[in-house]
Structure 1
Amino acid sequence: MKIIISGSLGNIGKPLTAQLVQSGHDVTVISSNADKKTAIENLGAKAAIGSVSDADFLSKTFEGADALFAMTPPNMGGQNIIKNTVEAGNAFAKAIQKTNIQRIVMLSSIGADLEGGNGPIAGLHQIEKLYQNLDASVTFLRAGYFYINFFNDIPMIKGAGIMGANFPDSLQIPLVHPEDIALAAAEELQKAQEGKNIRYIISDVKTPSEIVKAFGTAIAKPELPWVEFTDEQSLGGMIQAGLPEEMANLYAEMGAGLRSGKIGADFLSNNFPVDGKIKLEDFAKEFASKF
């Protein structure tokens, strides 16, 4: 198969590309960074350098392809983030229609069933709606909360001796490792599928209380506590840490959406499988190696 991968050689794109090349597929990786060309080619794939917001570039790249892994960057600039994300989704949709690719796997998220109150996930909700109208087989791969987001807490642990966010330590959070997303995406891209389908990819479901216990044990800080911040404290902390204000507001809104239970509700209330292989205890070792 000729398969197009967007997302460059990131935490998902790199293992996904390696798997598909190893399986004998003709893989092209889209990257906005020309410096990635050699690394892409070293994996046995072709490089397509350009912007995912450029429908003409995408159309040329998609020509003759059998399948596409469609991933919009999580931070489309520091301003107009939702608008920029949806514009990239529009560019994908136009190029898909023009080139008639028949198999699409779109990286989405828990909470993408919600129109709002879910922070940056709102852009994925709008893109899912765009893709519902495509004349193609589409799997919406709704991923959990990325384990690797917790790397952002390392300075807090080192500086204040705590972990925390604007949701409580008792909250059930669907979690995922990027490598599990790559495995699921590879499986879906090679699967004969019709219509529009939703697949959740979740590695584990844990509470912040369980998360700090696992991390604390792994970094020899067994008493590491979880502190629930107010929305205002969470927002202020992210801005102080250097996050652009618009993105900080979106992440604070996402935290509030997790706290209310609505972001995780569709997954948690419908008995979807937890089929990722990398559990919290496995990731805790990775966390410790970065600490």
Structure 2
Amino acid sequence: MRIAVTTPNGNVGRPLSQMLVRAGIRPLLLTRHPEQIADDLLPHVDVARADSRNASEVAAATRGVDALYWVDPSAMSEDPLADYARATDALVAGVVENRIGRVVFQSSVGAEKRHGAGEIDGLAATEVALDALDIDVTHLRCGYFFSNLLLDVESLRSGRLQTVLPLDAPMAWVAPRDIAEVAALTLLNREWTGRRVQAVHGPANLSWSQVAKILRQELGRDVTVERISDEAMRRGLIEVGMPDAMADAVLGMSTGLRDGFVPEQERSIVTTTPTSLQAWVREELVGWLTARRARSRT
């Protein structure tokens, strides 16, 4: 079975590629930056240069592929949903032209709304496009990545986090490595067919207040979280350089899932994954912060 993986240097793609290698698969890694693939991984994989928003490059790179793990690349532009649409078009072109029979798509909790969830609407459109093809497809509806805490470095370092969500409203938080594990098992399992939705909810729903408490305990320093207005959040995103439409799309991921949203799949043994936020902080965040401090001194 020939398996291709997009965004292999990402938070999910990197561990997924390693897991497939350990399973005896030689995956094909699709990336715009082949030079960034880890040296120790290179003897065990094939690499093709391809921009996931370029239909001709994706189609050329996926010839002979049986199964594909697809991630819509993050957009940072004046029209992020248009970027998602280009990625969807490239995916469809590769699947149709090369008759790829199985796709595992990294989607998000909230894509089931189809509209009104900001950047997640781009993922929803990809789901719809895949569902229209005569293939076997699994949509991984992932919770909020633990690694998203790294996106606002200064807030994390200062211990002052901000959100537009109610501080005591629980939601699914998940370790990217756990998503990779679910993805690997799904790619390697030949028993499923048709259209599937597989939520990946992490070990427990957490509120922002609980997240702050865990960070205080694990980091040994004060961490607070403040609820701010939608407009204040949007203004802050624009101040750090986001285009207006991008700021709206990022904000919409929170506001669109804030009031009365219920995920299509309930938490169950099927959707629950093992890595706790406490474990992720100890194993990854502490090391990341230590390395960043060391770099700032040199």
**TM-score, scaled relative to structure 1:** 0.91
Partner of 1:288: 286
User: Superposition pairs for residues 70-219 of structure 1, below 5 Å?
Assistant: 70-75=70-75, 77-159=76-158, 161-192=159-190, 193-203=192-202, 204-219=204-219
Whole-Å separation in 2 of the counterparts to 1:40 and 1:84: 32
- Does 2:53 match 1:53? yes
Q: Residue in 1 aligned with 2:8? A: 8
TM-score by length of 2: 0.89
Shift of residue 279, structure 1, vs aligned partner: 0.9
User: Are the aligned partners of 1:41 and 1:47 in contact in 2 as well (CA < 8 Å)?
Assistant: no
Q: Which residue of 2 aligns with 1:242?
A: 241
CA contact (8 A) 1:86 1:123 kept: yes
Cα deviation, 1:131-150, whole Å, max 9, x if unaligned, reads: 00111110011111111111
Does the 8 Å CA contact 1:115/1:126 hold for their aligned counterparts? yes
- Residue identity over aligned pairs, in percent, reads 25
Give, as a single letter, the amino acid of the residue that structure 2 aligns with 1:259: R
Secondary structure of the structure 2 residue equivalent to 1:73: coil
Q: Which digits, 9 at most, give the CA deviation of each residue in 1:108-160, with x for residues without a partner?
A: 0000011222111000111100000111110011111111111234412444x
Q: d(CA) in 2 for partners of 1:56 and 1:163?
A: 42
Cα drift, residue 290 of structure 1: 3.1
Q: Secondary structure at 2:198's aligned position in 1?
A: strand
CA distance in structure 2 between the partners assigned to 1:152 and 1:37 by the alignment: 22
* Displacement of 1:43: 5.4
* Residue of 262, 275, 279 corresponding to 2:272: 275
> 1:29-68 alignment to 2 at 5 Å?
29-36=29-36, 39=39, 42=42, 44-68=44-68
Superposition deviation, residue 106 in structure 1: 0.7
Deviation track 1:179-211 (CA, whole Å, cap 9, x = no partner) reads: 011101100001122100000112131111110
State the alpha-carbon separation in 1 of the partners of residues 251 and 90 from structure 2: 28
What is the Cα deviation at residue 40 of structure 1?
A: 8.0
| Greater mean alpha carbon deviation, residues 53-62 or residues 80-89 | 53-62
Could you tell me whether the CA contact under 8 Å between 1:12 and 1:181 is conserved in 2?
yes
C-alpha displacement of 1:238? 1.8
Q: Tell me, what secondary structure is at the counterpart of 1:128?
A: helix
Q: How many residues end up aligned between the 2 structures?
A: 286
Cα distance change, pair 209–41 in 1 and its aligned pair in 2 (3 A): closer
3-state DSSP of counterpart to 1:68: strand
**Structure 1: which 5+ runs fail to align?**
none
Question: Where do 5+ consecutive residues of structure 2 fail to align?
Answer: 290-298
Checking the alignment, whether the CA contact within 8 Å between 2:170 and 2:206 is kept in structure 1 is: yes
Cα distance, 1:36 vs structure 2:
2.5
Structure 1 SS opposite 2:111: coil
